[in-house]
Structure formats: structure tokens, C-alpha cells
Amino acid sequence: MNATTVKQHKSSLLLIFSRLFVGFLFVFSGLIKANDPIGFSYKLQEYFEVFHVAFLNNYAVAFAIVLCSLEIVLGILLLFGLYSKKVALGLLLLIVFFTFLTFYSAFFNVVTSCGCFGDAIKLTPWQSFSKDLILLFFILIIFLNRKKIQPLFSNEISQALTLSAAIVLSIGIGVYTYSFLPFIDFLPYKEGNNLPALMHVPKGAPLDEYEITYTLQNKTTQETRSVTDKVYLQQELWKDENWEVIGEPTSRLIKEGYQAPIKDLSITDAQGVDYTKEIIENPYYNLIFVAYNLDQTNPKALNKVNDLAKRASEEYNVRAVLLTASTAQDVSELDHQTKLYAETFFADAVPLKSMVRANPGIILLKDGVVVKKWHYRTLPTFETLAKRYFEHLE
């Protein structure tokens, strides 16, 4: 095997590896985000705010589903070697766009997590940018060698059918998970989780480590110097009468400690009295209705869960709670239109959106554990709930 043949062989292997690496990563990334398009849409809204195009917020879910589908389709076509020239160009344009976004986020610290892999794998902005640079390298190899990519099958009808199936499958997944709930819940409020346990830092868990910097000034020469607390202690500078600390010391986080998975949930009444512990740690069945924005809540669904709250509280003394980020005035107007049977409490929209990807969504809690979650479209009948959960309470 001569040198030219060896070089061609290595080039061929690199192209094959690039196709497999990029193809599978794009399919994986697209599927992870398509599993939770609402969560991805929240991330897109952050970018919309940064670039002052907030008027696109109402279309964020549609953009999310399309972007997820595009990633999946491009990945599948690349793996099958179909439409290589168009796919290579599409991949290059997409990765250049993503690389710009992740660099902008990292450099200006405007979006703290890119959402590349949804909530399944969280990357810092610089990690996301590094990942995109690696992808850019392999996509450039694909683009430069796009004419060498041979399709898995040359029949045009088979190619068209593969493309159509990939589009239908990818869009179908996004539409389904948007209309119901994610197939896999990666958030801390998933079924089976103990919420009180996730709201506290375990004993002995590592804490945040900070570096404190002091500014010292020489009393004689007026020279100033900055030293860290470690140097300050090691050199026992406080004993040196020639130097004095001026100004306020500054601190910098150098190592992040354990972070409680749930750290932003605070449930209050209209007067601001905290009810978080009472509601979350209720030892009995607790029906939580989450409607973070009452203006955007499905009215028919709200009536349905309101009737459920009435029957559950009257027939089985099950506590029913409505959690919302809307104002007390909005709640009052709703109560005037529809007699609310659930107790109403308030929380920030961010944790409410994480609780359940629906507006309204329903959570069944017992002794702090998430027993079951439902999208309003999949909420079972009261009779089914009673038979499965409530009847043994009598």
C-alpha cells in the first residue's frame, strides 16, 4: 500500500467517523429536546430577550419543534448518506449559527445554559461553545468531502420515503410531547421524587468555596498590593504594622458546592405568608393544580380540574391547591367567573413551569412524594382517581 493509498484510506476513515459522530449527536440532541419542546421554548425565549426580538415569544414552541426536527432529520440523512450536498450545507449553516449563539452567551454571560441537550445534560456556556467548536471541525470535514459521501441506497423513491418518514417522525414526537407530557422527565419534580428532600442540602455536602482578596496599602510608601485570603493568612500579614487593609475585600466563587435540585420554590398566600412546608410536606394526598399563567390557561381544562377539586375535597377530604404566578387580582376575577374550590397560593413562574409542562397541569402529592403527574388532556376521571388512590382513605 503506497503513501497515496494510505492517505486516502485515512481520509475515508475520518469522513466515516465524522458522519457517525455528527449524525448520532444531532439525532440524540434533537430527540432530547423534542422530548420536552416546551422546556426548549423557554430557552429560546431567553435568546429572544437577549437579541430584543421578544415578539417571537408567542412562536417559541413552534420554533422549538422545528429546530428539534431539523436536527433529527439532518442527522438521519447524514447517517444514510442521502442528499449529501444539501445536508452538509445545512449542517454547516446550523453549527455556525449555534457556535455564534454559544460564544455570545459565554462571552457576555447572558444565557447561563444553552439547552443543547435539554435538562438531561446541562452544560455551561463555555462547555457548549467548546462542544460546538468540536462539531464545527467534523462538519467542515463532511462539507469539504461532501461529494465523496455515497447514499446507502440510490433509489430515489426510497430516498424520498426515508426523508418523509424522518420529517413525520421528528415533528410527530415534538407535537406529541407538547400536547401531553415528556416521555422522560429530567426535572426534579418527576414522579417518585421526594420534594422536601430535594429542597435541602444534605449534611456534609460540599459548600461553595470563595477566594477573598484584600487590598493592602503601605503606610510609608503608599504602595498598594492585592493578596488573597490564603496568602494573607500564610504570611501573617495582619502582624505587619507597615501594611493596612483599605477598602472592602472582594470575594470570588472558585468552586461551586452542592446545589439543592429545588432551590427556588416558595409558596405563599396573597398576604405573603409562607405555606411551602405545609403544602409540600402534607402527609395525606394533595392535589396540586399548576396554572402559572391564568390568562393563558385552557378555560375548559380549568373548569374540569375545578370540578375535580370540588369532588375530591367533598367526598374524600383531599386538599386541593391551585398554584399560580398570576396576580391576586387575576385570581379574584377567575373566582368571580368560576367558583374556585381549590385553595389558591402563589409561586414564581420558573418553578411552576418546571413542575409540569402544562397549563394547567396536575400533580398528586403524598407525604412530599410526587405520586403522579398529568397533562390536562390526560387527566383521568374522578372515579378512576378515587378508585386508584382515594377509596382506602375512608
Measure the CA angle with vertex 116, ends 114 and 118; round to 5°: 95
Where does residue 351 rank: exposed (0-12), middle (13-18), buried (19+ CB within 10 A)?
Answer: buried
Cell of residue 67, nine digits: 429546530
Backbone angles phi, psi at 344, to 5 degrees: -105, 130
Please report the pLDDT score of residue 201 as a whole number.
85
Give alpha helix (H) positions in 247-327.
Answer: 276-280, 299-316
- Quickly state the pLDDT bin for 118 (edges 50, 70, 90): confident
Residue 1 has pLDDT above 60, yes or no: no
Sign of CA dihedral 263, 128, 60, 35: negative
Which DSSP letter does residue 386 get?
Answer: I
Please report the pLDDT score of residue 136 as a whole number.
96
Contact 76, 24 (CB under 8 A): no
Residue 119 has pLDDT above 90, yes or no: no
- pTM of the prediction? 0.87
The closest of 143, 121, 24 to 74, measured between CA atoms, is 24
pLDDT digits (tens, 9 = 90+) for 26-58: 999 999 999 999 999 999 999 999 999 999 999
Residue 98 has pLDDT above 80, yes or no: yes
- Quickly state the pLDDT bin for 361 (edges 50, 70, 90): very high
CA 237 remoteness from chain centre: 47
pLDDT digits (tens, 9 = 90+) for 63-92: 999 999 999 999 999 999 999 999 999 999
Contact 82, 160 (CB under 8 A): no
As a whole number of angstroms, the distance between CA 257 and CA 280 comes to: 25
Percent of the chain with pLDDT over 70: 97
Question: 213 or 203: whose pLDDT is higher?
Answer: 213
Helix or strand run (H / E) with residue 129: helix 125-144
Distances from the Cα of 33 to the Cαs of 132, 172, 343, in angstroms? 17, 13, 34
